[in-house]
Structure 1
C-alpha cells in the first residue's frame, strides 16, 4: 500500500469517527453563536467563511470516502477471486481423493479375490506354486484395472 492510500485511510478513519463529529459540531455551534452575538466577529452573520469552510470539508471528505470505498471494493473483488480459486482447487483435490479412494477400494476387492483363491488352494493342500500362480493370474488383471 503506497503512502497516499495510507494517508487516505488515516484521514477517513480520523474524520469519520464520533470524536470528529462532536468536535466539528461544537466548533460550528461556537462559530455561529459568536457570529450572532458579536457583530465585530471575523465572520459575522450569515457566516460566509464558515459556509466556505464547511463546503470545502464536505467536498474533500466525500472524495476521500469514495476513494476509500473504491479501494475496499477492489480489495473485496480480489479476495473473491482468491476464494474462488481456492474453492476450485479444493474441489479438484476432493475429486482426486475420491478417485484414489475408489481405486483403493477396487484394489482391495481384487486383493480379497486373490487371497480367497490362494486360501482355496492352500485348503486343498495343493502346494504346487505354478498351479497357484495360474489360478491367481485371472484375478491379478482385475486388481491392476
Structure 2
C-alpha cells in the first residue's frame, strides 16, 4: 500500500526515535517534524488506525511490523538515492540529504532496484549508515536514518 509523503516521514521519524530510545512520544515526533503537537497526535491516531503503529496514550508510540517495513523501505530508498547522488552524479555529500528527502517518496521499486544494481548493491550510504536490505522484513534495525 502506498502512503502519503507525510505518513512516510512520520514512520521514518518514529523508526529513528525507536532505534535510539525504544519508543517515540508524540511531543518528540512533533519536535522532530516541526509540526504542532496536535498535528502529530492526529497523524499518530491515523497511522494507528491503519495498523502501522501501536499507541498507548502517555506511554508512547511503537511501529508495528507493517509500520517498520514501511519505514525501512523509505530509509532504504533515501540511502540508495544519497549513494547514487554522490557516486554517479558527483553531488557533494553535504548536499545529498535534502535531495534524497524529496526523491525517497516518488522513487519506484523498479528504479530503486536499478539504482541498487548500478551501485553494486552497496551496504552503506555515503555517511556510513547501513542501507537496509530489500527484504526489510528480515533486516536488522539500521543504526540511524539519514
When the two structures are superposed, what TM-score results if normalisation uses the length of structure 1?
A: 0.25
Of structures 1 and 2, the one with the larger relative CO (CA 8 A, separation 6+) is 2
More strand by share: 2
Tell me which structure has the larger Cα radius of gyration. 1
